[in-house]
């Protein structure tokens, strides 16, 4: 993979900023959606689609492609914005989020949106589905890799840990999970609703290779992913320390913006901070 020169990282960061702007605009236009969780995972998704993964927007079903599963499906707006930036479909279509007849459903639908690998929205399914893809790759002796993005709220879900066991039992070193550790779920802080710590130790105990990074640093995301590719015989989880609502000052660390669209005033302010994506 390339050297991390400043210019290259700056390009990724510029894409991430546009994706954030698109995401907020889409949610604002739709009048509903989940801004907080959409913003916290943006940098991971941009690093994946614009640097790490091999994929081809002209052939979304290319058999050799790497796969990305958005387990925290409520972050759909940012996935759609990334896919549109990556040219899976026209930017104009982002306007249709959550509208009747749109290919862009409130939560990802693999039968409707080109580039979406798995239908999600009910939390806690994505890692197991990713495992299935990883098993298929092994069966077919393919080299493609599986990347899954989970919310920390999803660590409450029993199935997450069932999948954690399966991945290490079958030595799935071709799957990497990014854990969006923004420390908030819907009803409050994770440590207040259902405490997760010591989280890294839990994953280690389940047989995973664990890396902890700043989830908003492109450089750290790419380095950690490179490290994960080198790990043989077991899966890797990258615990990404992030900020819910990252990029819009009043959304950062805010519970209110877990599942609420910004008002007109709030939207203007957000665009001031992010710049409108179509400039």
Ligand X SMILES: Cc1ncc(C[n+]2csc(CCOP(=O)(O)OP(=O)(O)O)c2C)c(N)n1
**Nearest to 56, CA basis, from 46, 66, 47, 48:** 66
Neighbours of 104 (CB within 10 A): 26
Among 33, 153, 245, 247, binds ligand X (CB under 6 A): 153
C-beta of 198 vs 233, nearer to ligand X: 198
User: In this chain, which of 66, 85, 152, 220 binds ligand X, going by CB under 6 A?
Assistant: 152
Range 92-121, binding ligand X (CB under 6 A): 121
Is residue 195 part of the contact set for ligand X (CB under 6 A)? Answer: no
**Token reading at 18:** 């546009």
Interaction of residue 209 with ligand X, rule CB under 6 A: no
Q: Give whichever of 121 and 207 is closer to ligand X, judged by the CB atom.
A: 121
39 in Cβ contact with 244 (< 8 Å): yes
Stretch that binds ligand X, among 8-16, 30-38, 51-59, 127-135 (CB under 6 A): 30-38
> N- to C-terminal Cα distance for the chain?
30
- Per CB under 6 A, does 246 bind ligand X? no
Beta bridge partners of residue 176, listed in sequence order: 147, 236
Helices and strands per DSSP (H, E), number in the chain: 10, 5
Least Å distance between CB 40 and ligand X? Answer: 5
How many angstroms from the chain centroid is the CA of residue 96?
Answer: 21
**Which C-beta is closer to ligand X: that of 124 or that of 130?**
124
Tokens describing residue 79: 């996935």
Is 68 in contact with 147 (CB distance < 8 Å)?
Answer: yes
Residues that bind another protein (CB under 8 A): 30-33, 73, 97-102, 104-107, 109, 119-124, 153-154, 156-158, 185-187, 193-194
Residue ranges that bind ligand X, judged by CB under 6 A: 34, 36-37, 40, 72, 74, 121-124, 151-154, 180, 182, 184-186, 244
């Amino acid at each position: 993979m390339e050297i991390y020169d400043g210019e290259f990282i700056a390009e990724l960061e510029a894409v991430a900023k546009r994706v954030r702007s698109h995401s907020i605009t889409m949610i604002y236009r739709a009048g509903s959606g989940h801004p907080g969780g959409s913003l916290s995972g943006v940098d991971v998704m941009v690093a994946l689609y614009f640097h790490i993964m091999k994929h081809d927007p002209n052939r979304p079903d290319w058999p050799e492609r790497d796969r990305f599963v958005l387990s925290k499906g409520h972050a759909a707006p940012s996935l759609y914005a990334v896919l549109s930036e990556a040219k899976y479909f026209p930017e104009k279509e982002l306007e249709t989020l959550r509208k009747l007849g749109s290919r862009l459903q409130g939560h990802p639908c693999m039968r409707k949106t080109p580039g979406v690998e798995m239908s999600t929205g009910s939390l806690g399914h994505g890692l197991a589905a990713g495992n299935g893809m990883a098993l298929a790759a092994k069966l077919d002796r393919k080299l493609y890799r599986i990347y899954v993005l989970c919310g920390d709220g999803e660590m409450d879900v029993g199935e997450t840990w069932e999948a954690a066991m399966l991945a290490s039992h079958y030595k799935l070193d071709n799957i990497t999970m990014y854990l969006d550790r923004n420390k908030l779920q819907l009803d409050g802080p994770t440590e207040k609703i259902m405490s997760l710590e010591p989280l890294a130790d839990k994953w280690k105990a389940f047989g995973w290779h664990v890396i902890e990074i700043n989830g908003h640093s492109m450089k750290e995301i790419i380095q950690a992913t490179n490290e994960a590719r080198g790990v043989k015989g077991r899966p890797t989880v990258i615990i990404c320390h992030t900020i819910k609502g990252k990029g819009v000052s009043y959304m950062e660390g805010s519970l209110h913006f877990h599942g609420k669209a910004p008002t007109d005033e709030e939207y203007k302010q957000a665009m001031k901070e992010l710049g409108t994506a179509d400039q």
